[in-house]
Amino acid sequence: AGNGTAVMVGWINMLLLTLVLILSWQYRVEATGSLEIHLIQYVDTTLKQANGNCCLPCSLSFLSCQNIAEVCYQEPHSSGSCIDSVRTGVFFTDGGLNLLKSFTPGESLGNGVTNPIALSFSGAWMGELNVTFTIWNNYTNPPGLVTIFQFANSTAGNG
């Protein structure tokens, strides 16, 4: 009976070790692929930078912003640099009654970037990512911050 108990404990330990290895494998994988961001619409209702300053001198009667974008993605809880990022050229000059930009597939966003925006990744991946979409006003030098959109996503299953 004692020998049977040792075998049973051995099997339970092996089962637990296998389960731990499987769970570890599920949450960290080696992957290669791309992330596509399809732009649909952008609306700038303020015609101002995030700090409240006008995109052009406020004394001008025709206020507008020259919008460029930077898209970055990184692992959550990471204070490091982007895994991949891209910066567009001027994709929209708004102002007056022109506050809405609708995007079409294949449209050039300037600087060699097209819609959808494609970012690539390879290596270890934990199943989560954060995407930051930052709009800058290109009229100022250096470009002034207009707004930041941040998205967090988890595609790792929880069971």
Q: DSSP letters of 4-46?
A: HHHHHHHHHHHHHHHHHHHHHHHHSEEEEEEEEE---EEE-SS
Q: Is the pLDDT of residue 148 over 90?
A: no
Secondary structure element (H or E) that encloses residue 2, with its range: helix 2-27
Q: Is the pLDDT of residue 72 over 60?
A: yes
Q: Is the pLDDT of residue 111 over 90?
A: yes
For 74-88, how does the pLDDT look when each residue is reduced to its tens digit (9 = 90+)?
877 777 788 888 999
For 16-71, how does the pLDDT look when each residue is reduced to its tens digit (9 = 90+)?
444 444 444 444 556 677 788 888 988 877 778 889 888 877 766 566 788 899 99
Let me know: does 93 contact 64? Beta carbons within 8 Å: yes
Buried b (16+ CB within 10 A) or exposed e, 85-106: ebbbebbbebbeeebebebeee
Instruction: Please give the average per-residue pLDDT across 96-100, as a whole number.
Output: 74
Q: Kindly state the tokens that stand for 78.
A: 């990471």
Q: Is the pLDDT of residue 126 over 80?
A: no
